[in-house]
């Protein structure tokens, strides 16, 4: 019996000494779990903070870029507005000119014939001065190219007959008559026996009822200027464009 009792005591002692070790291998201390959880939460918060910072920086960059783009766009809009205003101003000026000329293809004091305007000056000047005065009025000395134009000039001076300078001269080469624009003469209506260079220096031409004659360029006569007439534009068409 004593041996059995000793056996049981020895068994109990072994059980008591091995149990704590076995329990440690199957369980984790509560303090260790809390430490790991806190570390994970700290890392997670740091990641969230970094992501938030990156997003904030990215948004700030986008806002700055948008501000830059808007500044450039505002500048372009201002330039377009200024260009549009200038275009409208030019259009208003052009429309005013069109309205002024809508009733007449030529300025006041000019006669119209075959899409050309003619001014019959009454001032008596030499040939060079007459040429300059025509050019100062955005026109040129008259150039007569057809029988129809000749008849128009002849009829126009019937009520005020006399001699008028025309844009014809042979000053550069005697007998080689040319118009003021340098073109050779293809149509003429010289009076009988003309041109004759009677005084040895008759290098400019005049027109009279009976035809053309050569005289000295220093003589004084009234003159005729010529320029193209404005295109024929109906008043209704002008208002369609300008309204």
Judge whether residue 9 has pLDDT over 80. no
* pLDDT band of 163, cuts 50, 70, 90: very high
Judge whether residue 232 has pLDDT over 70. no
What distance in Å separates the CA atoms of residue 126 and residue 222, rounded to the nearest whole number? 8
The first and second tokens of residue 166, run together, are 């025309």
Query: What pLDDT does residue 3 have?
Result: 47
Please count the other Cβ atoms lying within 10 Å of the Cβ belonging to residue 111.
Answer: 14
CA distances from 152 to 145, 167, 190 (A): 12, 16, 16
Judge whether residue 138 has pLDDT over 70. yes
The residue ranking higher by pLDDT, 236 or 242, is 242
* pLDDT band of 192, cuts 50, 70, 90: very high
Contact 139, 226 (CB under 8 A): yes
What are the pLDDT digits (tens) for 176-186?
Answer: 999 999 998 99
The residue ranking higher by pLDDT, 227 or 73, is 227
Judge whether residue 10 has pLDDT over 70. no
The whole model's pTM is what? 0.56
Prior bond of 14 cis (ω within 30°) = no
Judge whether residue 22 has pLDDT over 50. no
* pLDDT band of 83, cuts 50, 70, 90: confident
What distance in Å separates the CA atoms of residue 49 and residue 185, rounded to the nearest whole number? 96
Judge whether residue 135 has pLDDT over 50. yes
Query: What pLDDT does residue 161 have?
Result: 84
Task: Tell me, letter by letter, the H, E, C secondary structure of the chain.
Answer: CHHHHHHHHHHHHHHHHHHHHHHHHHCCCHHHHHHHHHHHHHHHHHHHHHHHHHHHHHHHHHHHHHHHHHHHHHHHHHHHHHHHHHHHHHHHHHHHHHHHHCCCCCCCCCEEECCEEEEECCCCECHHHHHHHHHHCCCEECCCCCHHHHHHHHHHCCCCCCCEEEEEECCCCCCCCEECCCCECCCCCECCCCCCCCCCCCCEEEEECCEEEEECCCCCECEEEEEECCCCCCHHHHHHHHC
Query: What pLDDT does residue 165 have?
Result: 98
Q: What is the mean pLDDT of the chain?
A: 81
- 200 phi and psi angles, rounded to 5 deg: 80, -10
- What is the residue whose two structure tokens read 């808007």? 70
What are the pLDDT digits (tens) for 38-49?
Answer: 777 778 788 878
């Amino acid at each position: 019996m004593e041996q059995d009792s000793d056996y049981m005591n020895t068994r109990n002692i072994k059980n008591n000494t091995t149990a704590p070790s076995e329990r440690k291998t199957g369980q984790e201390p509560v303090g260790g779990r809390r430490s790991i959880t806190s570390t994970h939460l700290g890392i997670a918060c740091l990641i969230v903070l970094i992501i938030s910072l990156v997003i904030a920086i990215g948004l700030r960059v986008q806002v700055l870029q948008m501000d830059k783009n808007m500044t450039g766009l505002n500048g372009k809009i201002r330039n377009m507005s200024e260009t549009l205003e200038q275009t409208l101003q030019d259009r208003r000026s052009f429309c005013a000119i069109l309205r002024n000329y809508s009733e007449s293809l030529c300025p006041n004091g000019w006669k119209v014939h075959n899409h050309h305007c003619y001014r019959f000056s009454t001032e008596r000047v030499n040939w060079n001065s007459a040429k300059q005065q025509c050019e100062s009025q955005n026109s040129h000395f008259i150039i007569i190219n057809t029988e129809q134009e000749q008849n128009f000039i002849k009829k126009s001076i019937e009520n005020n007959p006399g001699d008028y300078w025309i844009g014809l001269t042979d000053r550069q080469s005697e007998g080689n008559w040319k118009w003021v624009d340098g073109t050779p003469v293809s149509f003429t209506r010289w009076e009988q026996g003309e041109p004759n260079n009677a005084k040895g220096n008759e290098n400019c031409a005049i027109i009279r009822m009976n035809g053309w004659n050569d005289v000295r360029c220093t003589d004084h006569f009234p003159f005729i200027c010529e320029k193209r007439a404005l295109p024929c534009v109906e008043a209704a068409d002008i208002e369609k464009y300008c309204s």
